[in-house]
């Protein structure tokens, strides 16, 4: 099944006109698929990949010695039982720790292990911004990474570094930045404006998608009008984190362009029911 072409122009968004998933809403596994608590590990991403996911959300921090590590929390206590912060540890020290029995990976490992996959990357602290830009360049992954951060300055830093560099270095001619989603201020403005007027395209010229919760506290963010206004500004709407099948169906009926879920198995099932699965590397007809 194929719907109308989605908005957007970034190569990362393979559901836009002329790309293999044209018209499909995107399915994102949130921190991989980790029913055993092994979130953001190679095991979790491999589990999501086996289910058919080619879009996976993750988080990055900088280690003490400048290695980009895949981890959500600022400190290691919840997941690894260690009271130190990620930034207090070298990559070697972090490599000896375990999350539900699994090693903490580097972002390079993810790009290398899942070469056909796209990553939605939340930059968790300022030191990770330059490291992420370097990793994207090193792996030629500008079309495989969407940069997100609650703090928009981190996202803009990554984009600025990429725009000023050629793939593989930081001194070549101007290059294309990676796709991006705005931070808290940009999302807040979109939430307020998108309920009443079309979003000003100039305000969102450096981003490609609004990645939002359906609600923020008592405030409803996602509505048909919000989606229409985002689309008019050339922006996709991706909703996080949605774990119930009924909610997924309702949002897809509303016209969202993507859903992120901790329940990758449930989301894959819903996408399959609607004819949007698998989301592989073939043509639309291959996936229909």
- Measured CA to CA, the distance from residue 36 to residue 15 in angstroms comes to 31
Instruction: Give CA 33 to chain center in angstroms.
Output: 14
Q: Does residue 271 sit in helix, strand or coil? A: helix
Query: Whole-angstrom Cα distance, residue 179 to residue 44?
Result: 24
Q: What span, in angstroms and rounded, lies between the C-alpha atoms of 285 and 65? A: 47
Active site residue 231: no
* 102 Cβ neighbours under 8 A, 6+ residues apart: 38, 41, 42, 43, 44
Are 207 and 8 in contact by the 8 Å Cβ rule? The answer is: no
Angstrom distance (rounded) from CA 5 to CA 66? 41
Catalytic one among 49, 61, 72, 139? 72
* Choice among 30, 61, 229, 231 that is catalytic: 30
Alpha helices in 125-183 (DSSP H): 127-138, 152-163
Name the β-bridge partners of 239.
212, 259
How far is Cα 12 from Cα 144, in angstroms, rounded to an integer? 6
Residues tagged active-site? 30, 72
């Amino acid at each position: 099944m194929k719907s109308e072409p989605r908005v957007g122009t970034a190569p990362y968004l393979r559901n836009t006109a002329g790309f293999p998933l044209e018209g499909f809403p995107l399915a994102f596994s949130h921190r991989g698929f980790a029913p055993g608590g092994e979130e953001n590990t190679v095991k979790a991403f491999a589990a999501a990949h086996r289910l058919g996911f080619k879009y996976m959300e993750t988080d990055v921090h900088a280690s003490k010695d400048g290695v980009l590590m895949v981890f959500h929390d600022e400190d290691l206590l919840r997941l690894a039982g260690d009271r130190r912060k990620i930034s207090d540890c070298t990559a070697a020290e972090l490599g000896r720790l375990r999350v539900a029995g699994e090693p903490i990976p580097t972002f390079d490992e993810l790009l290398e292990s899942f070469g056909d996959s796209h990553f939605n990357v939340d930059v968790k602290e300022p030191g990770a911004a330059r490291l992420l830009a370097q990793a994207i360049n090193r792996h030629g992954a500008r079309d495989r990474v969407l940069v997100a951060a609650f703090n928009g300055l981190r996202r803009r830093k990554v984009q600025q570094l990429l725009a000023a560099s050629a793939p593989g270095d930081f001194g070549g001619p101007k290059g294309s930045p990676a796709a991006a989603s705005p931070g808290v201020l940009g999302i807040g403005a979109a939430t307020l404006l998108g309920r009443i007027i079309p979003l000003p395209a100039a305000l969102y010229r450096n981003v490609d998608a609004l990645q939002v919760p359906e609600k923020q506290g008592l405030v409803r963010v996602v509505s048909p009008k919000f989606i229409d206004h985002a689309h008019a500004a050339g922006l996709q709407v991706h909703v996080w984190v949605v774990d119930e099948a009924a909610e997924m169906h309702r949002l897809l009926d509303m016209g969202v362009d993507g859903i992120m879920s901790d329940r990758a198995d449930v989301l894959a099932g819903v996408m399959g029911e609607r004819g949007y699965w698998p989301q592989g590397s073939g043509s639309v007809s291959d996936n229909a």
